[in-house]
Amino acid sequence: MFVGLGRRRLSTSVGDGVLFGICLAAAILAVVVIGLIAYEVVAGALPSISRFGLGFIGHTAWRPNFYIFGAGTFLYGTVVTSFLALVVATPIGIGIGLYLSMLAPRAIRGVISPLVEMIAAIPTVILGFWGILVLGPFLAKHVEPWLHSNFGFIPLFGAPQTTGSSVFNATIILTIMIIPIVASLSRDLFLTVPGELQDGAAALGATRWETIRGIVLPSTASGVSAAAFLGLGRALGEAIAVTQVIGGGNAIHGSLFKTGDTMASRIALQFAGAENALQTASLFYLALMLLVIGVVTNLLAQVISGRFGQQAAFTR
């Protein structure tokens, strides 16, 4: 169909060829950029990779003065904050998705849906700033003491700190960031569940919740988990807001109320003031780990959603 019938004027074939050429070039550029990013990050990390090898990933010391670097502390911080945030945000996000797709009257849905998406639009630097000045003091004064005195037997809820900068604060900020992602993607998924299946369930004397649990959630489970993975990817890579509220530090603490650090946050905080080339390379190494984690969570989300033919919901 690209080749017209009969005589084709020169301008046609040249024009079409040029258009095709520049479109193809742009598409190739988009693919190549990913390779270029990977190359550049690996190249920057090489000195650190050759010095520390894979041991870097688990090693917990970070002493620029002694040329000793390890990602362990930050990997721990990243994993703890992101997973806790995911565990809290996923059910809340699904609940919002259910409310917006199945419970809310149409008019209310039209108002609340964009509001939820607005949360995702708040720049993380503002969220982090709010975390320092508003959320942190509130947590330190009210929430942390309460959790400590009631659930103090769980090591996660240790003695409250005075500053408010803590792993706990970072976790809540990340939760706020993930919720709208899970909420809007799962809302779109729930809306794809055919009405006739919901009618079929209702005609069998099922309550709305039974329909949701028995019909809607099982048929969208793969897509919802893909949404959670996308949210997780977002949390794992968030640098700014976490830097602002987590407090920094080189030690792993059992208590959520103490300070900590994540990989992305460490890069943001130390890159400009790196003391030596090896430190810069080690920060590149952290970025490489983030890149790998980002690609893996993204591919997992694509595979999970793609395999079950729910890709449509993920093209924004």
Partner 1 sequence: MNTADTLAGTDRTRAIRPRVRLQTDTPAGQTVPRLPGDRPHAESPVGEAVFDVQDLTVSYAGQVALADVSLKIHRNLVTAVIGPSGCGKTTFLRSLNRMSDSIPGLRIDGRILYHGHDIHGQGVDRVEVRRRIGMVFQKPNPFAKSIYDNIAWAPRNLGMKTGLDERVERALRSAALWDEVKGRLRDSALGLSGGQQQRLCIARALAIEPDVLLLDEPASALDPIATASIERLIRELKREYTIVIVTHNMQQAARVADRTAFFSLGLHAGRQTGTLVEYADTETIFSRPVDQRTNDYVTGRFG
Partner 2 sequence: MSVTVDHARPLTPSGNLRRRLAINRLAESVATAAAGLAVAVLGIVVFSVVRNGGSAISFAFLTQPPPVGLVGSGGGIGPAIAGTALIVGVATVVAAPIAILVALYTTEFASRRGARVVGAALDLLNGLPTIVIGIFMFGLLVAGRGQSGFAASLALAIIMLPLIARSAAEVLQLVPKSLSDAADALGVARWRTVRGVLLPNAVGGILTATVLAVARAAGETAPLILLCSISGQTVAVNFFDKALPNIPVTIFSLSEDADPDGFTRAWGAALVLLVFILVSGLAGRILLGRTRAKLAR
Q: For the CB of residue 1, give the shortest distance to partner 2 in the complex, in Å.
A: 6
Q: For the CB of residue 251, give the shortest distance to partner 2 in the complex, in Å.
A: 21
Among 129, 192, 198, 217, binds partner 2 (CB under 8 A): 129
Among 104, 156, 191, 217, binds partner 2 (CB under 8 A): 104
Q: Rule CB under 8 A: is residue 123 a binding residue for partner 2? A: yes
Residue 262: exposure state from Cβ atoms within 10 A (0-12, 13-18, ≥19): buried
Among 201, 236, 240, 246, binds partner 1 (CB under 8 A): 201
Any idea which residue has 């987590």 for tokens? 246
Specify the DSSP element, H or E, that contains 62.
strand 62-63
DSSP H helices, the chain, are: 10-52, 55-58, 72-98, 106-121, 124-130, 136-138, 144-151, 167-191, 195-203, 208-211, 217-237, 240-246, 263-270, 277-307
Q: For the CB of residue 264, give the shortest distance to partner 2 in the complex, in Å.
A: 5
- Alpha-carbon dihedral sign for residues 179, 185, 186, 188: positive
Among 105, 121, 272, 309, binds partner 1 (CB under 8 A): 105
Residue 219, binding choice from partner 1, partner 2, none, Cβ under 5 to 8 Å by partner class = partner 1
Q: Which stretch binds partner 1 (CB under 8 A): 38-46, 130-138, 179-187, 194-202?
A: 194-202
Instruction: Give the residues lining the site for partner 1 (CB under 8 A).
Output: 105-106, 194, 196-197, 199-207, 210, 214-215, 218-219
